[in-house]
Structure 1
Amino acid sequence: MAIKNIIFDFGGVLMDWNPRYFFKTYFNDDERMEYFLENIAQTEWNEEQDRGRRLAEGTEIQIKKFPEWEKEIRAYYDNWPVMLKSDIPHNVEVLKKLANTNYELFGLTNWSDETFPYALENYDFFKLFKGKIVVSGTEKLIKPDPKIWHLLLDRYQIKAEESVFIDDNGKNIETAKSLGFHTVHITPETDLEKELIDLGVKFDQ
């Protein structure tokens, strides 16, 4: 079945986000920074905000657990824009090329609905999706829960087997594959345009 739709994850695919971009300077001590990010402001905690929990609520929950880290925990979302370093130029270029074809472009992202507007306002390429973006924080669903892919498919009346899903997270790729999507697993070495061409995507239509 011919591919009609290209679905992008954002963080790690089109946007270079990492809390270390802020905390490296904040701590000036890599060992202490890594301890904080692995044990205090860990990925699982941040994901709950991506699932729709309010940033303020998530912050207070963590401060109650780790009162001695209050200053650092409050600094996390206060300095969130610094963690969003830049776009990922070579993948954004591929997105721009696709915008000049007949493929439908979609976004499917794990992102807090409180911080996502900042990215929308500061990076023009998001306009290429023409509003067809599913944000986990808005939907109260998060990858790799299959329900968020089903929501995308139902909302836009598209089929998994006619769609390519692009993500940097292996668990998300596995779930998408199990649902029938073609997939591209992004790593720092990935040539996205070549991977898409290998799947049958044409950039000259």
Structure 2
Amino acid sequence: MEIKNIIFDFGGVLMDWNPRYFFKTYFNDDEKMEYFLENIAQDEWNIEQDRGRTLAEGTEIQIKKFPDWERELRAYYDNWPVMLKSDFPHNVEVLRKLANTSYQLYGLTNWSEETFPYALENYDFFNLFEGKIVVSGTEKLIKPDPKIWHVLLERYQLEAGESIFIDDNFKNIEMAKTLGFKTIHILQETDLEAELNKLGVKFE
């Protein structure tokens, strides 16, 4: 099938987000920072906010579990913008090139409904999606749950076989493959434009 649609994950693909960008300076102690991020403010906890739980509720739940870490837990979302360090220029450049082609661009992201507006306001390339973005926190669904891909497909009347899905999370890539998408798994060394070319995407 001819490729018509290109679907981007955001974190790890277009945006460089990592809590260490804030906590490295906050703790000034890598061992303590890693303990906090692996055992107190772990990924599994943050994912629930991406799934739609409010930041306030998530913070209070964790403080009840770990009262000795209250200060650090409150600092997590208070300083969230510092964790969103920058974009990935090479991949954003590819996105901008795609915006000048006939391909349709979509976003499918695991992201809190409360923090995503900051990214929209501060990085102009999100305008290239023309609002065609499915955000997990808004939908109360999160990758790799196949239901969130179905939201995208049904909302915009897309065919998976006509679409390329780009993500840095291998579990998400595997699920997208089972749903019939062509996929690109983004790693640090991935040349996105070259990978798109391999799948038949033309930039001219």
Is the TM-score greater than 0.5? Answer: yes
Question: How is 1:153-164 mapped onto 2 (pairs within 5 angstroms)?
Answer: 153-164=153-164
SS class of match (2:74): helix
C-alpha distance in 2 between matches for 1:177 and 1:42: 28
In 2, Cα distance between equivalents of 1:203 and 1:159: 21
Count of aligned positions:
204
The structural deviation recorded for 1:108 is 0.2
CA distance in 2, matches of 1:36, 1:171: 25
Q: Which residue of 1 aligns with 2:70?
A: 70
Distance 2:122 2:155 in 1: 26
Deviations 1:124-149 (A, max 9, x none): 00000000000000000000000000
Q: 1:89 maps to which residue?
A: 89
Cα deviation, residue 176, structure 1: 0.2
For residues 114-193 of structure 1, what are the structure 2 equivalents within 5 Å? 114-193=114-193
Matched residue type, 2:193: E
1:43 — aligned with what? 43
3-state SS, counterpart of residue 158 of structure 1: coil
Q: Paired residue for 2:18?
A: 18
The runs of 5 or more residues in structure 1 that have no matched partner are none
The Cα offsets for residues 156-199 of structure 1, whole Å up to 9 and x where unpaired, read as 00000000000000000000000000000000000000000000
User: What's the RMSD between the two structures over aligned residues?
Assistant: 0.2
CA distance in 2, matches of 1:159, 1:31: 47
3-state SS of 2:201 partner: coil
Q: Percent identity?
A: 84
Letter in 2 for 1:16: D
AA partner of residue 108 (structure 1) = L
User: Counterpart amino acid of 2:49?
Assistant: Q
Cα distance, 1:16 vs structure 2? 0.2
Secondary structure of the equivalent of 1:183? strand
2:27: which partner in 1?
27
* SS across alignment from 1:180: coil
1:83 and 1:144 map into 2 onto residues whose CA distance is: 23
How far apart are residue 4 of structure 1 and its match?
A: 0.2
Q: Which runs of 5+ in 2 are unaligned?
A: none
TM superposition score normalised by structure 1: 0.99
- The list of structure 1 runs, each at least 4 consecutive aligned residues, that deviate by more than 4 angstroms after superposition, is none
Instruction: State the distance in 2 between where 1:37 and 1:177 align.
Output: 31
Inter-partner Cα distance in structure 2 for 1:123 and 1:150: 27
CA distance in 1, matches of 2:96, 2:18: 24
Q: Which amino acid aligns with 1:160?
A: A
